[in-house]
Structure 1
């Protein structure tokens, strides 16, 4: 007898429907699994067989063949255990085939019949909805994650016997409901850190406000203890709250990576990822034998903070060049091509030399060659992809003692949100949202300069020996500064401030 159930696998951060076909026939008792399977799926044969036995379902000695289609795409993971078991039971007549209509199954089976949680449930349920399925049966440990897709009936099950009874209408299960309004409202305004905690560094705060408004990449250079890390950690607090669509997009990445726990259905805060400088290129950008998202994708729509920037392996950080331009990572393997979003704000921090005190010769003992060698770990092509370079100066005792009342993250966020609203309105008919994403063609359209501004940028281009990429980035930053003031045109003061954010290149890298 033949039967068919439906499941899905993950390709990148998107789901792909897989049909699980089971055929039972006379012949030598065998259990074959076919369909271009990874090792975890091939091992499902023993897990399913013993799980069925321990759940009270004794299968007659027949030839069992299970095919996972399409057969030309590799299947990985343990999520196919449950649909394989359901397809086999249906083929033996334990479940009517009609009861599997419009139903998708996901789950890993234990040997005692329990159903364990798996990774990638959110993108799978979302794909199932797009493909016309009306209900999904998933592990109870994943039910909050799957219930994010409101239009789908999502059932959380804990053991195989519960699934069979439900499909045979012997028990009643209610689809899990998740109150999205309550979920978001409970989260709003809950921040443990604030920009008001930072003493001094007003120029750096201004530069960070500009960067957050246009999603510009930032490099902070300064001595140890000046507050670079403290500033970086507070950047997500001045970025706008996540919309549901943004939260869903980020959560799909975390779901595939297995980083959503049982009590977390959605990522509700802007990601802040701060990998150690010993990280490998694969962990930073993604990949591996079974491709998975890297840190740059986990920071999507948030902040990727690279502290001690020159201490990273040079080959590792050079890989960031293309993702910083294209806002996505493409990983090609024999079994296919995987794409992960990587639209994050890169924030890097570094000391100006090995000891951290250059150019203060009262404290710095590094030779000119040592300083040059240390700074040379950051290549010019990579530096050109950073929009804003700022210097954080050592905070003096007087600033610490006075404890001035400074702006809170809420105050700064209000200005950032207004600037972003201006950009969203301006680019409503474009395929990008932020000034940092402007192409050379769109720069000429949205960053027009007057005669005085053209003279200024021409002088800066010649005197600072700018590359074409650095020139374009100055115009993008100037556009953001103008948006913060709600100005239609880029003026001299906007352009001058943007040029100042590139002057650090000249001070440290071209002396």
Structure 2
């Protein structure tokens, strides 16, 4: 039969659209035509496939007119993932393998010129999309990609190291098959690491107020802004924040790993480890929120279920910072292009770190500030009011005197703080089914349980400080988190009073 069909998948965001690789061999002038809205790297598969088949000792039908169609025709295809299905389609159409036996399998893999299979980006995202769509199929993937895809529950994944490993599984009935190669095997999920490699908060001496703010942020899912002079420990605090968050569930780990796989950052050693993304302050808005054609996830999506740490917060481009407004509220980012629209999850906890002024020493007892009031106002004015409104906790991180830094004992360990944060989160989830930060609208009134005295105190503080409605609501959610950490049923004056200390305006 001169026509064969091989199934594969194209990635568009986190979706894995089905692609049928149709190969037709006909008499005529020898040619190799590839159609179906293929990107440049897909069209280059013609040379890779030709060399891989010939160098594997198989017959390439060079005297035929070869037409390869990637259907549907209006779906963009990129990367080298279609090398393997194209090669198998040519071999099936020329009768070297049994085309009927390819049914029930889906293939993806990039071929080297020698026929070896190389990993492809997004294997875990592809397997997760199949699982979510209840599609029952057997995936054949290269080493590295197969181990990723096998992490999805009930996935049927086979690893093949070479084109010949795949060909020997689909030889026609009655063909004299040689000894099977070692490269073909069924992949089972590997065991997760026993302990997540988080840095310990005990490394940081002093900074009790900042550690308390980190605990509140971890317990309620709140965003945080750290402000202090250079060398006060802001970056160390932020880099240890992920260790305070509760362990990831299997669903969270799969979602986070799928996005990392799309970005080419996934590693089995980081399975079920909450990510901490720290983009440089020269990053553009597209680098943060994602983009490109086809759209790819940005830093905020790569930090899904983890931490987005923005050091030197005011130094980021204004457009990049303002692009964070909607994801901080909704937990998703929608990237729209002329022909395509992709939605990526972005449920991250943001930690920003900044100096109080251009020189960094405003209010520091160790060194005098040399900035004028106008320079300070211009520097702090780089952060817009709407963006600051969406940050729940504003905390000052003062410089430590040398004697405290050298002689102070180690602080409380991340393990002990994480236990308290997990207990507070469990109280919130048992009460309302979500973290306090995710409360919206009437849920705030229903679950806050605010005392009458706390209501009066909050009204007075909000009026004097000029809070917006968003600031007031966010302060209420922080107060509810503080009450959960204390094990209190209602939100009391003491909880609201502590919250007000964390909504301090920039000077």
**How far is 1:25 from its partner?**
2.6
Instruction: Give the corresponding residue for 1:234.
Output: 240
1:313 to 312, 317, 337: 317
1:194 to 197, 200, 210: 200
1:280 to 284, 295, 298: 284
Specify the SS of the correspondent of 1:94: coil
**How far is 1:350 from its partner?**
0.8
Instruction: Give the corresponding residue for 1:79.
Output: 81
1:425 aligns with 2:427: no
| Structure 1 outlier segments of 4+, above 4 Å | none
**How far is 1:63 from its partner?**
2.4
Of 118-127 and 147-156, the range deviating more from structure 2: 147-156
**How far is 1:35 from its partner?**
1.4
Q: Please tell me whether the aligned partners of residues 32 and 65 of structure 2 are also in contact (alpha carbons under 8 angstroms).
A: yes
Instruction: Give the corresponding residue for 1:400.
Output: 405
Unaligned runs of 5+ in 1: none
Q: Deviations over 1:257-291 (max 9, x none)?
A: 11125xx2753311111111111111111112442
Q: Deviations over 1:9-54 (max 9, x none)?
A: 1111232221111222333333222212111112222222232222
**How far is 1:423 from its partner?**
2.0
**How far is 1:348 from its partner?**
0.5
- Figure out how many residues of one structure are paired with residues of the other and give that number: 495
Of 143-152 and 77-86, the range deviating more from structure 2: 143-152
| RMSD (Å) for aligned C-alpha atoms | 1.8
Q: Deviations over 1:55-75 (max 9, x none)?
A: 221316222222211222111
Specify the SS of the correspondent of 2:256: helix
Specify the SS of the correspondent of 2:186: coil
Paired with 2:142 and 2:409, the residues of 1 have a C-alpha distance of 53
**How far is 1:324 from its partner?**
0.9
Instruction: Give the corresponding residue for 1:42.
Output: 43
**How far is 1:159 from its partner?**
1.6
Equivalence map 1:235-314=2 (5 Å): 235-261=241-267, 264=268, 267-314=271-318
Specify the SS of the correspondent of 1:166: coil
Instruction: Give the corresponding residue for 1:205.
Output: 211
1:12 aligns with 2:13: yes
Instruction: Give the corresponding residue for 2:446.
Output: 445
Paired with 1:227 and 1:128, the residues of 2 have a C-alpha distance of 44
Instruction: Give the corresponding residue for 1:324.
Output: 328
TM-score by length of 2: 0.93
Q: Deviations over 1:424-469 (max 9, x none)?
A: 22233xxxx2211111232122224232122111111110000111
Q: Deviations over 1:359-386 (max 9, x none)?
A: 3596012111111111111111110010
Instruction: Give the corresponding residue for 2:499.
Output: 498
Instruction: Give the corresponding residue for 2:29.
Output: 28
266 and 306 in structure 1: CA distance in 2 versus 1, 3 angstrom threshold: closer
Paired with 1:400 and 1:127, the residues of 2 have a C-alpha distance of 50
Q: Deviations over 1:378-415 (max 9, x none)?
A: 11111001000011112123322432343111110000
Of 273-282 and 29-38, the range deviating more from structure 2: 29-38
Equivalence map 1:377-392=2 (5 Å): 377-392=382-397
313 and 132 in structure 1: CA distance in 2 versus 1, 3 angstrom threshold: closer
Q: Please tell me whether the aligned partners of residues 125 and 258 of structure 2 are also in contact (alpha carbons under 8 angstroms).
A: yes
Paired with 2:155 and 2:396, the residues of 1 have a C-alpha distance of 51
1:370 aligns with 2:359: no
Paired with 1:46 and 1:426, the residues of 2 have a C-alpha distance of 60
Paired with 2:152 and 2:326, the residues of 1 have a C-alpha distance of 33
1:176 to 187, 207, 212: 187
Q: Deviations over 1:153-195 (max 9, x none)?
A: 322112212211122284374302234xxx22x332544x211
TM-score by length of 1: 0.93
**How far is 1:223 from its partner?**
1.2
Specify the SS of the correspondent of 1:104: strand
2:69 to 58, 67, 70: 67
1:215 to 203, 221, 231: 221
